[in-house]
Amino acid sequence: MEEAKCLKRKAMPGRLAPIISLIILMLMLDVYYLNAQVASASNSGPICTGGTVTLYETGGSAVTWLWSSSGAAVFNDRNLQSPVVTGAVNGEIFTVQITDAGGNTASASTTVTVYSAVPSRPGLVNGDESQCVNATGVIYSIAPVTNATTYLWEVPAGVEIASGQGTLSITVNIGPAAPATGTIRVYAVNACGPSTPARSKELNVTRLPEAAGPITGSATFTPGSAGVPYSVSPVTGAVSYSWSYTGTGVTIHGNGTANVTVDFSADATAGRLSVIGINSCGEGSPSSLELAVAAKTLHLSSVILEGLYSGAGTMRQARNESSPQYATGVADHITVELHDATIYSTIVWSLPDVPLSTSGTAEINIPAVHGGSYYVTVRHRNSIATTTALPVSFAGSIISCSFALPSDVYGGNLKLSADSRYLIFGGDASQDGSVDTGDYTPVVNDATRYIRGYIYTDIDGNGSVDTGDYSIMVNNASRYVRTIHP
C-alpha cells in the first residue's frame, strides 16, 4: 500500500509538464507581440507630372528604413525616414521596411496619385442669380469635376463666403456693400493648378427701394369732395407703390402707382396719407402727409410783433446764430387759438408753428366742425398773448381777422409805434402773461453770457441776447404791460 502511494506521488510532475510548456509559450508570444513593429506609410501627393513627392513613415520605433518602388521613380535616399522621390507615375506604389534596435521588422505601402493636367472646367453653377441685399444663407454649387482635389470660389466685394470654400458648395451672405451686379467664379483645382477658364455666374443684387419723397397734394380736404389728386416722385428701386390712410371715409384710386386720386366722404376724418415704394425684396421707408378737414380758411392780418418790427408795417426775420430761422418771407412762428365765446378758458382748437409773414399775415386752415363764434388769440414765444376784441364768427368758409387797431383787440392791448403803427407788445420771455422781473432775470443772465441763437430771451430776434432785448423788456415792464383777455 505504501509503495502505491509513492508511485502516485512520482507521477504528478509528468502531468504538470504540458501546463508549464503552455505558459512558457504564451509568455514568448507576449514578448514577440510587445516587440513587433507596426509600420505606417504615407506621401505628400497628389502631385503633377514632373513634380516631387515626399514619402513618410510614422508607424514604428525604427532605427533603419528601406524604401522600394513598384515603378521607376528615383529616390534621393532610400534609407531615409522621409525620402524625396522624383519621376513617380500615377498609381506607383512605394513600400518601406523598417527595423528596430531589436531586429524586429515591419513594412507598409503608400500609393502616389499623379495628375498629368489641370481639371476640366466646372459645369454650370447652381443657385439664383437674383438676390436681395442682406440675404443670408444663399447657396451656390457645382457637380464634381474629374481629377479635381479642391475648388476655389471667388465672389464680389461685399459678398461673404460663410462656409464651403474648397468644396462643391458654398454658402454666402449678401452684405449691404454688395454691388448691384457682380460675378461668382469657381475653379476646379488639382496639383497641376486651377482649371481655365473659371465657371462664372452673374449675381444681381436688388436693394430695398429708397425712401419715398414728399407727397404732392393738398394738406386739407373738403368732406364730400372726390378725385383729389396726390402723387409722389418716382422712387428709385420701386416697382410698385402702396398708399394708405389712417383716417376714415377715404377711398384711394390708383393704388400701386405713383399717382392716385382720393375720394373723401361727407363724414371723412383727418388722418395721415402715406406712400411706400415696393419691390421684390420688400418695402422702403414711407413718406406721409397729414390731411386735415379744412372747409374754412382763417386769414390773419396786421399781426406785427414789437420785437421784430423794422418800420413801415414790416418785420425782420427772426435769426439763429448765423441766418434767418425760417424760410424767406417768414418773420417767425406763432400759435393761434380759438377760445369758447362764453368760457374763454376753454380752448376749442389750437395750431402751433403757424408761419407769420414779415408783413404780419398768416393763413390757417380750420376744421369744418368749428362753425361757431370764437375769440381768436395769437401767441408768440416772447410777446404778450393778444386776443380779438369780440368773438369772431366762423360760419363762412373764409374768415378774416385783423389786429391793426386797438379796437380790434381785447382791452385795446396794442403798442403805438413811432411811425403810428400798432404792435403786439414784446418782452414776455417767461410767457407768464406779463412783462416783469420774471422776464428781467433770464434776459439779463443770457445777455451777460453773450448767448446766441434762436432762443426765447432774444426778444428782438437778431440772433443774440443783448441790450436791444433788455430795452424792450424794461420799457414794457415799467408800463406794467400784461395780457388782457375776457
Same domain, 164 and 266: no
Does residue 48 belong to any structural domain of this protein?
yes
Q: Which amino acid, one-letter code, is at 231? A: S
Average pLDDT (117-121) is 95
Q: What is the pLDDT of residue 294?
A: 65
Whether pLDDT at 24 is above 90 = no
Same domain, 268 and 305: no
What CATH number is associated with residue 105?
2.60.40.10
Quick count: other Cβ atoms within 10 Å of Cβ 8?
Answer: 9
Average pLDDT (260-287) is 93
Does residue 7 belong to any structural domain of this protein?
no
Q: What is the pLDDT of residue 115?
A: 96
The three cell numbers locating residue 261: 386720386
Same domain, 51 and 110: yes
Does residue 11 belong to any structural domain of this protein?
no
Does residue 105 belong to any structural domain of this protein?
yes
pLDDT in tens, 61-88: 899 999 999 999 999 999 999 999 999 9
Same domain, 184 and 93: no
Phi-psi region of 253 (alpha: psi -120 to 50; beta: other; left: phi over 0): beta
The span from the CA of 327 to the CA of 113, in Å, is 80
Does residue 36 belong to any structural domain of this protein?
no
Average pLDDT (309-318) is 97
Q: Which residues, other chains included, contact 371 with Cβ-Cβ below 8 Å and sequence gap of 6+? A: 296, 394, 395
253 is in which domain, residue-wise? 222-290
Same domain, 76 and 170: no
Does residue 79 belong to any structural domain of this protein?
yes
Residue whose grid cell is 420771455:
429
Give me the chain's average pLDDT, please. 91
pLDDT in tens, 320-368: 999 999 999 999 999 999 999 999 999 999 999 999 999 999 999 887 7
- Three-state DSSP state, 64: strand
Whether pLDDT at 304 is above 90 = yes
Q: What is the pLDDT of residue 20?
A: 54
Q: Which residue blocks in 303-434 are alpha helix, DSSP H?
A: none
Does residue 33 belong to any structural domain of this protein?
no
Same domain, 243 and 302: no
Q: What is the pLDDT of residue 241?
A: 97
Q: What is the pLDDT of residue 37?
A: 80
The three cell numbers locating residue 417: 409805434
Of 228-237, 354-363, 391-400, the poorest mean pLDDT is in 391-400
14 vs 36: which has the higher pLDDT:
36
Same domain, 319 and 418: yes
Same domain, 262 and 377: no
Q: What is the pLDDT of residue 16?
A: 59
Whether pLDDT at 32 is above 90 = no
Same domain, 380 and 473: yes
Q: Which amino acid, one-letter code, is at 68? A: S
The span from the CA of 144 to the CA of 462, in Å, is 78
Q: What is the pLDDT of residue 295?
A: 66
Quick count: other Cβ atoms within 10 Å of Cβ 22?
Answer: 10
The span from the CA of 442 to the CA of 434, in Å, is 14
Same domain, 95 and 159: no
Counted domains in the chain: 4
